[in-house]
Amino acid sequence: MTTYGSFPGTRPRRLRTTPAMRRMVAETRLHPADLILPAFVREGVSEPVPIASMPGVVQHTRDSLKKAAAEAVAAGVSGIMLFGVPEESKKDALGTPGTDPDGILQVALRDVRAEVGDDLLVMSDLCLDETTDHGHCGVLDEQGRVDNDATLERYAEMAQVQADAGAHVVGPSGMMDGQIGVVRDALDQIGREDVAILAYTAKYASAFYGPFREAVASSLRGDRKTYQQDPANVRESLRELALDLEEGADMVMVKPAGPYLDILARVADAVDVPVAAYQISGEYSMIEAAAEKGWIDRDRAILETLTGIKRAGARNVLTYWATEVAQKLGR
């Protein structure tokens, strides 16, 4: 006896039957142009220095940084975000290497622009934490607290020297009140209206920054909870977002990415400017460590996390796997 019709009548699994079918109906796609490579350059080293807590990531020499930038271009990556690591003896309370035209970050910006020109967006971290002897993102007052307005003066000068060194994009990341407006004014005052601002709009006081502290040889004492956001808060991010846009941000960012996908989705739904997310050091290191122990499939986990970040609303993702993933996507 033939029975016509069956339950269930609707079978979504038909759209999952083969790799070709799944590829055709995929709602979210990764592309090399979605990716931005964060990179560290260290002053005074003759060979790249491996970062123990971030397997596969190094503190670059000037030469190896240029090579990494060229590889990123070849892979189709959109940008490179540079972090400078000065010699320890050059750090001071004001973060002088951050405004020295010959500081390591400014030198690296010139190097990379000379290497790749306009084929790669050259971005610069605009913050004092790598250059201060106390490791905070700003100038301290007599009580040891971060002085917001004194820090803004330093950020203005940093923006100008980074623009002069060749940055296409500056990334104010210190979470100081008013930082985007001050940086925009500082750039416009020297005729650099062409330099864009990627605002670290929602930067949370996260436990996942640990490996980054090693990467930049941080001198931090204490924590950054008085200026980075409380992980419990959502509306606060939307308030920060409104302020950054009012002050002139061209792009906005959520950091970290993975633990804050809900924030990312809220931000992406609220704006008509490009939204980025930073898959930070701790997110990277957890996957690498678990994969090294054979607990997860490394390549699948990398692509799954990046797809999730993009699905949540990120136009661009800063990830230490940027070049590797772009190369695989290209193949």
The set of catalytic residues is: 203, 255
Please tell me the number of Cα atoms within 13 Å of 201 on its side-chain side: 37
The one-letter amino acid at 164: D
Q: Give yes or no for a contact between 248 and 241, defined as CB atoms under 8 angstroms apart.
A: no
* Closest to 132 (Cα-Cα) out of 66, 22, 201, 222: 222
Q: Which residues of 77-93 are buried (b: 16+ CB within 10 A; e: fewer)?
A: bbbbbbbbbbeeebbee
Rounded Cα distance, 160 and 100, in Å:
11
Nearest 5°: phi and psi at 155?
Answer: -65, -40
CA distances 221 to 15, 86, 133, 191, 204, Å, are: 54, 18, 9, 38, 18
Rounded Cα distance, 315 and 296, in Å:
27
CA distances 154 to 161, 173, 244, 326, Å, are: 11, 13, 18, 36
